C-alpha cells in the first residue's frame, strides 16, 4: 500500500511539474507574442528553436512549422549574407537593416545564455524612417521659407516700380492705344511674380476674400498655363454650366489650387503620352445645392488606388527626388478646407479607359462686412480721385520707387517731399507738417519701424500719419508688427487703386507751431 501511495505521489508531482512546464511555456509564448518586434531563438547549430507570432507573420509561415528548421531556409535570400555576418562570432555588435517590400527592418543579434546561441530581434523602422524623412523635408521647406523671406524685400521692391510705372502709363491719356495691351501684360506678369503670394500657403487671409465668379479665376489660370500646355501638346477646355453662383474666395489662393491640379494632370499625361501626343484636360463647372463644383479630368494613366488614398497627405509624392516636395495637394486641400469646401479624387485608370478626375467643391459665398484691419483696403472698390491737395513725405531707399511715387502723386496734384532713409525722414517729419508719410520698413541707417517708435515718443500725432509700404511681409515679425498697429499698409508691389484708397482716408494736418 505504501509503495502504491509513493508511486501515486511521484506521478502527481510529475504531473504538477509537467503542468508548470506547460504553463511556463504558454506564458513565454503569450509574452513574446505580445511584442511588436519579430523574435526568434537560433541555437548553436543554426536551427530556429523558438519564434514568436510576429516572426511567423514576417516570413509568412505558421509558428508550428518553425522549430528545428535552419534560419537560412526561413529568411528571404537577400537577407542571408547580412544576417550571417550578424550571427558570426563577434558580429553581434552592430544592428543591420534589411527590406521586406516597402518595410525597413532593423535586425539585432543578442547573445543567449547558451554558448553559440543567439536571439534575433527584427524591428520595423518604416514609420520611424518616414517620420525622419518628413522632418528632414520639413526642415528643407523651412530653410526655403527663410530664403524666400530674405529675398522677398529685394524682389518686391523692383516689382513695385514695374507695377507702378505700368499702372501710371496705363492711365495716361497720351499713351498710344497699341501700347495698352503690352502695358496690361507687364502688370499681369509682374503680379504673377509677387513673392507675397506664398503667404497663401501659410496664413489665413479672411479679409482678402471677395464674392466673385469662378469663371475669371479659371480663365486666368488657363491663360497662365497656356504656353506650357501647348509646348506639351496638351489641349485644355473649359465649360461653364449656366447660372453658377458666386463664391467668396481669395482669388490667388484658389487659382493656386487649380494651377497645382492642372500641372499634376499635365505631368501625368506627358509621362505616358510624350511620343503619342493627344493630351487632353477638361475642366467642367456644375451647380450644386449649396455651391458649385469644378471637375478637372485628364486622359492620362490615372492613379493607382493605393496611391489615391494618400495623395492629399503632406510630403507624399510619387515623383523622383528633386521633382516635387509632396506638399502641393496637401496645401491645396488646406486652402479649399479654409474656404469651407472640399477636394476629392476619382483615380480612373485600371482599365477604366480614363484618367484621374479631381473635384473641387466650394460653398456659395455670403457677403461679409469689410474688415478695417491692416491690408484690407486693397479689396474695396477704388475711390474717386481725391481733389484736395495733400503734402506727402515718401521715405524709401530705392531711387526708382521714389521716382515712381513722386511722378504719380504729383500727377494727381499733391506736393511730394522725398527722403532716402529713416534718419533723413525723421528730421523732415519733425521740422515740417505732412498730411501723410508713406514709409518703407527696411532701410539702412534707420529703418521704418525704428523711425515710427522714435516719432511715437517725440510727437505721437506725427507717428499716426505714417502708412508703411513694404515688400517684406513674408517675415512673420513684420506682418505681426503691421497687424498690431491696426492701420492700413501698402504691400509692395501695389496698384494705384490701393494708393488712392490710402489717400482717400487721410485727414488734412493742421499747421504745427
Instruction: Tell which of 103, 128, 153 closes a domain.
Output: 128
- pLDDT for residue 135: 73
Identify whether residues 23 and 43 lie together within a single domain.
Answer: no
- Closest by CA to 214, choosing from 255, 173, 271, 266, is 255
Instruction: Tell which of 367, 399, 419 closes a domain.
Output: 367
148 has pLDDT over 70: no
- Which is it for strands 103-111 and 96-100: parallel, antiparallel or unpaired? antiparallel
In-domain check, residue 43: yes
> How large is the C-alpha radius of gyration of the chain?
35
- 300 or 472, higher pLDDT: 300
Identify whether residues 190 and 232 lie together within a single domain.
Answer: no
Identify whether residues 217 and 351 lie together within a single domain.
Answer: yes
In the chain, % of residues over pLDDT 70: 76
Identify whether residues 379 and 507 lie together within a single domain.
Answer: yes
Identify whether residues 180 and 312 lie together within a single domain.
Answer: no
Least confident of 153-162, 213-222, 316-325: 316-325
Q: What mean pLDDT is reported for the chain?
A: 79
Identify whether residues 286 and 330 lie together within a single domain.
Answer: yes
200 has pLDDT over 50: no
Identify whether residues 40 and 28 lie together within a single domain.
Answer: no
What is the number of domains present in the chain? 4
Which structural domain, as residue segments, surrounds residue 16? 1-32
130 has pLDDT over 70: yes
In-domain check, residue 134: no
- pLDDT for residue 425: 94
In-domain check, residue 153: yes
Identify whether residues 239 and 348 lie together within a single domain.
Answer: yes
In-domain check, residue 192: yes
The residues that bridge with 47 in the sheet, in sequence order, are: 70
| Grid cell locating 46 | 543554426
Taking the chain, what is the end-to-end CA distance rounded to the nearest angstrom?
130
d(CA 488, CA 508) in angstroms, rounded, equals: 17
When pLDDT is cut at 50, 70 and 90, the band that residue 375 belongs to is: very low
The dihedral sign for the CA sequence 196, 202, 205, 211 = positive
- Which is it for strands 291-298 and 103-111: parallel, antiparallel or unpaired? unpaired
Is the distance from CB of 350 to CB of 306 less than 8 angstroms? no
Is the distance from CB of 343 to CB of 333 less than 8 angstroms? yes
- pLDDT for residue 361: 94
Is the distance from CB of 389 to CB of 363 less than 8 angstroms? no
278: CB partners within 8 A, 6+ apart: 233, 299
- pLDDT for residue 379: 42
147 has pLDDT over 70: no
Identify whether residues 226 and 348 lie together within a single domain.
Answer: yes
CATH number for the domain spanning 89: value is 3.30.450.20
Is the distance from CB of 115 to CB of 44 less than 8 angstroms? yes
Other C-beta atoms within 10 Å of 484: how many? 9
189-193, 265-269, 451-455, 475-479 — most confident range: 451-455
d(CA 489, CA 466) in angstroms, rounded, equals: 9
Identify whether residues 379 and 478 lie together within a single domain.
Answer: yes
- Which is it for strands 118-124 and 96-100: parallel, antiparallel or unpaired? unpaired
CATH number for the domain spanning 264: value is 3.30.565.10
When pLDDT is cut at 50, 70 and 90, the band that residue 247 belongs to is: very high
Average pLDDT over residues 363-370: 54
| Grid cell locating 120 | 534575433
Is the distance from CB of 33 to CB of 53 less than 8 angstroms? yes
d(CA 161, CA 327) in angstroms, rounded, equals: 33
- pLDDT for residue 260: 87
- pLDDT for residue 319: 54
Is the distance from CB of 437 to CB of 502 less than 8 angstroms? no
278 has pLDDT over 70: yes
Identify whether residues 116 and 147 lie together within a single domain.
Answer: no
The predicted-structure confidence for 419-449, as pLDDT tens digits, reads as follows: 999 999 999 999 999 999 999 988 888 989 9
In-domain check, residue 133: no
The residues that bridge with 490 in the sheet, in sequence order, are: 469
In-domain check, residue 477: yes
Instruction: Tell which of 128, 159, 187 closes a domain.
Output: 128
- pLDDT for residue 209: 77
d(CA 504, CA 484) in angstroms, rounded, equals: 22
Q: Produce one character per residue of 303-312: b if its CB has 16 or more CB atoms within 10 Å, e if not.
A: beeebbeebb
When pLDDT is cut at 50, 70 and 90, the band that residue 122 belongs to is: very high
H/E element, 348: none
Identify whether residues 406 and 499 lie together within a single domain.
Answer: yes
229 has pLDDT over 50: yes
Other C-beta atoms within 10 Å of 290: how many? 10
- pLDDT for residue 114: 84
The dihedral sign for the CA sequence 206, 210, 215, 218 = negative
In-domain check, residue 408: yes
207 has pLDDT over 70: no
In-domain check, residue 137: no
Average pLDDT over residues 142-159: 65
CATH number for the domain spanning 436: value is 3.40.50.2300
d(CA 347, CA 353) in angstroms, rounded, equals: 11
- Which is it for strands 466-470 and 490-491: parallel, antiparallel or unpaired? parallel
| Grid cell locating 218 | 479659371
Is the distance from CB of 232 to CB of 329 less than 8 angstroms? no
Amino acid at each position: 500500500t505504501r509503495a502504491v501511495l509513493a508511486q501515486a505521489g511521484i506521478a502527481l508531482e510529475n504531473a504538477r511539474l509537467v503542468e508548470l512546464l506547460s504553463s511556463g511555456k504558454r506564458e513565454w509564448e503569450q509574452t513574446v507574442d505580445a511584442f511588436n518586434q519579430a523574435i526568434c531563438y537560433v541555437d548553436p547549430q543554426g536551427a530556429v528553436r523558438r519564434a514568436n507570432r510576429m516572426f511567423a507573420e514576417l516570413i509568412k509561415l505558421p509558428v508550428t512549422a518553425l522549430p528545428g528548421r535552419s534560419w537560412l531556409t526561413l529568411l528571404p535570400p537577400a537577407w542571408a549574407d547580412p544576417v550571417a555576418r550578424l550571427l558570426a562570432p563577434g558580429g553581434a555588435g552592430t544592428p543591420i537593416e534589411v527590406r521586406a517590400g516597402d518595410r525597413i527592418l532593423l535586425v539585432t543579434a543578442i547573445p543567449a545564455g547558451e554558448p553559440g546561441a543567439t536571439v534575433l530581434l527584427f524591428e520595423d523602422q518604416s514609420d520611424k524612417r518616414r517620420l525622419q524623412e518628413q522632418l528632414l523635408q520639413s526642415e528643407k521647406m523651412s530653410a526655403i521659407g527663410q530664403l524666400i523671406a530674405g529675398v522677398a524685400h529685394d524682389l518686391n521692391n523692383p516689382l513695385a516700380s514695374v507695377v507702378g510705372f505700368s499702372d501710371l502709363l496705363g492711365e495716361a491719356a497720351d499713351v498710344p492705344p497699341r501700347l495698352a495691351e503690352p502695358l496690361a501684360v507687364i502688370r499681369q506678369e509682374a503680379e504673377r511674380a509677387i513673392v507675397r503670394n506664398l503667404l497663401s500657403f501659410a496664413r489665413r487671409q479672411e479679409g482678402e476674400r471677395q464674392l466673385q465668379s469662378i469663371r475669371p479665376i479659371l480663365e486666368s489660370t488657363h491663360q497662365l498655363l497656356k504656353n506650357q500646355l501647348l509646348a506639351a501638346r496638351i489641349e485644355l477646355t473649359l465649360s461653364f454650366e449656366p447660372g453658377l453662383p458666386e463664391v467668396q474666395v481669395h482669388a490667388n489662393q484658389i487659382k493656386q489650387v487649380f494651377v497645382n491640379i492642372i500641372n499634376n494632370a499635365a505631368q501625368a499625361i506627358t509621362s505616358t503620352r510624350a511620343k503619342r501626343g493627344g493630351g487632353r484636360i477638361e475642366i467642367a463647372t456644375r451647380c450644386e445645392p449649396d455651391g458649385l463644383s469644378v471637375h478637372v479630368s485628364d486622359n492620362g494613366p490615372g492613379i493607382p488606388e493605393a496611391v489615391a488614398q494618400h495623395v492629399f497627405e503632406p510630403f507624399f509624392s510619387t515623383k523622383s527626388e528633386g521633382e516635387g516636395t509632396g506638399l502641393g495637394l496637401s496645401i491645396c486641400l488646406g486652402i479649399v478646407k479654409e474656404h469651407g469646401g472640399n477636394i476629392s479624387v476619382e483615380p480612373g485608370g485600371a482599365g477604366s479607359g480614363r484618367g484621374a478626375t479631381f473635384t473641387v467643391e466650394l460653398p456659395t459665398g455670403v457677403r461679409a462686412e469689410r474688415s478695417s484691419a491692416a491690408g484690407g483696403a486693397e479689396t474695396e472698390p477704388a475711390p474717386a480721385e481725391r481733389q484736395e491737395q495733400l503734402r506727402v513725405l515718401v521715405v524709401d531707399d530705392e531711387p526708382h520707387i521714389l521716382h515712381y511715387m513722386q511722378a504719380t502723386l504729383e500727377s494727381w496734384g499733391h506736393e511730394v517731399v522725398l527722403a532716402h532713409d529713416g534718419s533723413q525722414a525723421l528730421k523732415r517729419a519733425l521740422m515740417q507738417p505732412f498730411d501723410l508719410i508713406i514709409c518703407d520698413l527696411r532701410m539702412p541707417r534707420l529703418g521704418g519701424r525704428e523711425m515710427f517708435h522714435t516719432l511715437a515718443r517725440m510727437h505721437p500725432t506725427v507717428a499716426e500719419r505714417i502708412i508703411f509700404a513694404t515688400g517684406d511681409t513674408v517675415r512673420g515679425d513684420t506682418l505681426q508688427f503691421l497687424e498690431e498697429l491696426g492701420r492700413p499698409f501698402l504691400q509692395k508691389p501695389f496698384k494705384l487703386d490701393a494708393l488712392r484708397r490710402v489717400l482717400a482716408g487721410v485727414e488734412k494736418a493742421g499747421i504745427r507751431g
